[in-house]
Amino acid sequence: MQKNSDIQNELLIISKTIAAIPNVNVYSLPEGYFEDFSTRVLSSIKSLPSYSLHTNIKESQTYSIPVNYFDSLADEILFKIKKEKEVISLPLRNKVLRFSIAAVAIALLGLSLTAIIKHNRIMEEENNYSAYVMQEANRILISKSFEDNLNSLEEEDVVKYLQDNGLDVNAALVASLSDEKETFLKDDDFYDGETLVNYLHQLKITGSTIRK
Amino acid sequence: MPVIVDDNDLVFQFKNGINKESAFTQIIKKYQEKLYWHIRRMVVEHDDANDVLQNLFIKVWSNLDAFREDSQLYTWLYRIATNESLTFLNKQKKQTLISFSNEISNLSNKIEADSYFDGNKLEWKLQLAIQKLPEKQRAVFMLRYFEEMPYEKMSKVFNTSEGALKASYHHAVKKIEQFIINN
């Protein structure tokens, strides 16, 4: 290989001996070494932990999820929650669940009254039944014993009632799993007797209306 | 016939994420042989040269985003190649606890172990003589003699004045001449 003339001239001035040495490459290297070198380097780069930092995260989605994973996720979680609740037999006394029940307070009031009636083995004539229920409801409101009556409800009765009335039992169950201390509701007595009376007033269902 | 893309365009494409891998592949293909031979003459063995060259390009990938375009990619790559080769030799020295004189004989032994080595040929004697030079002077000689790099570019690789490099090269040639005459 011919040397650059400037460099060759410079070399001739410094040393004629060195300038006379043929400019040949004495070393050998594996055949085809450079053919896939860039591929090997890029492969090494991609195996580095820092590689993702240098690429667009959207383009290099590292994790994959099963097809339609999110479509069935909610149902699977709720199924597990229900199953767990069956095994552990958690009491349905959690205040969060009771909040959800209190959201349909009037209807639940009727349910609790039914439970009380069943409990006391009082059988009324069918045409007197509604009047009796209203009377009991009035008594509970006046005595402010709604919470005690609510707590005495059987879990099965509550769930069945919610289902029969097209209410979201799953949502109530999920909410009931929350730690009471972690819930955001501090005024957790909002469904006491006084509040309920106020609520009934708003709905124009006063004590006198009930008595009628 | 492959289209020759300007270094500045390749760096621009890499930095802006436009065909980043493609731009980097073109940089590798453009400089792999030149850098390999520079490294190979420094570390002598192919396997060592391969390791150094791969590490070099991995470092380039990690640092090219911060590369300042006020210097040339070409001189920047040679600077990294020289530093990586010297670092490799120093690591090897520490690992084997060999002294400078032993390091010379170590590299000389590697040259003599080459299957194509012929001690009677001047080109092989030149290789043995080069290994007698101090590390940085060796690198200066190699860039000037083999790569035919202008002093102006060498000054950017070594961050040294052109005058100092001319003097270093002159001394290197004289030392090599002495070795060849005496052997």
Task: Give me the phi and psi of B3, to 5 degrees please.
Answer: -80, 130
Q: Which residues of A touch B37 (CB under 8 A)?
A: 25, 27
- Are A17 and B129 spatial neighbours (Cβ–Cβ below 8 Å)? no
Q: Which of A5, A41, A44, A55 to mutate to test the interface with B (most CBs of B within 10 A)?
A: A41
Q: What is the pLDDT of residue A28?
A: 87
Residue whose tokens read 């101090």:
B134
Q: How many CB pairs under 8 A join A and B?
A: 85
Provide DSSP, A154-191. -HHHHHHHHHHTT--HHHHHHHHTS-GGG-S---TTTT
Q: From CA A51, how far away is CA A62, in angstroms rounded?
A: 11
Which two structure tokens, joined as six digits, stand for B120? 């009677």
Asked if A24's CB is within 8 angstroms of B40's CB, the reply is no
Provide DSSP, chain B. -PPPPPHHHHHHHHHTTTTHHHHHHHHHHHHHHHHHHHHHHHH-SHHHHHHHHHHHHHHHHHHGGG--TTS-HHHHHHHHHHHHHHHHHHHHHHHHT--HHHHHHHHHHHHHTSTT--TTSHHHHHHHHHTTS-HHHHHHHHHHHTS---HHHHHHHHT--HHHHHHHHHHHHHHHHHHHHH-
- Are B73 and B24 spatial neighbours (Cβ–Cβ below 8 Å)? no
- What average pLDDT score do residues A147-158 get? 68
- What average pLDDT score do residues A194-205 get? 60
> Does B145 contact A at CB distance below 8 Å?
yes
Q: What is the pLDDT of residue A179?
A: 39
DSSP annotation of A135: H
Angle between helical axes of B73-96 and B151-158 (0-180°, round to 10) = 50
The dihedral formed by the CA atoms of B52, B54, B55 and B60, expressed in degrees to the nearest 10: 120
For residue range B33-86, what is the model confidence (pLDDT) as tens digits? 999 999 999 998 999 999 999 999 999 998 898 888 777 899 999 999 999 999
Asked if B145's CB is within 8 angstroms of A26's CB, the reply is no
Where do the domains of chain B lie, and which CATH numbers do they carry? 1-97 (1.10.1740.10), 98-183 (1.20.140.160)
Q: Which of A63-67, A188-192, B30-34, B113-117 has the lowest mean pLDDT?
A: A188-192
- Cα nearest neighbour of A32 on chain B: B33
Q: Which residues of B touch A21 (CB under 8 A)?
A: 122-123, 126, 180
H helix or E strand, kind and range, residue A136 = helix A126-143
Asked if B25's CB is within 8 angstroms of A38's CB, the reply is yes
User: Distance of CA B69 to CAs A47, A102, B76, B162, Å?
Assistant: 28, 70, 10, 21
Residues 6+ apart with CB under 8 A from B36: A29, A34, B49, B53
Residue type present at position B40: R
Confidence of residue A104 (pLDDT cuts 50, 70, 90): low
> Does B54 contact A at CB distance below 8 Å?
yes
Asked if A56's CB is within 8 angstroms of B46's CB, the reply is no
Q: Which of A39-48, A97-106, B34-43, B168-177 has the lowest mean pLDDT?
A: A97-106
- What average pLDDT score do residues A51-78 get? 61
- What average pLDDT score do residues B158-176 get? 95
Is the confidence at residue A73, as pLDDT, over 80?
Answer: no
When CB atoms are compared, the residue of A7, A15, A41 closest to B58 is A41
Q: Which of B36, B173, B175 to mutate to test the interface with A (most CBs of A within 10 A)?
A: B173
> Does A14 contact B at CB distance below 8 Å?
yes
Which of these, B179, B44, B48, B180, lies nearest to B113 by C-alpha position? B44
> Does B14 contact A at CB distance below 8 Å?
no
User: Distance of CA B20 to CAs A212, B13, B82, Å?
Assistant: 82, 6, 25
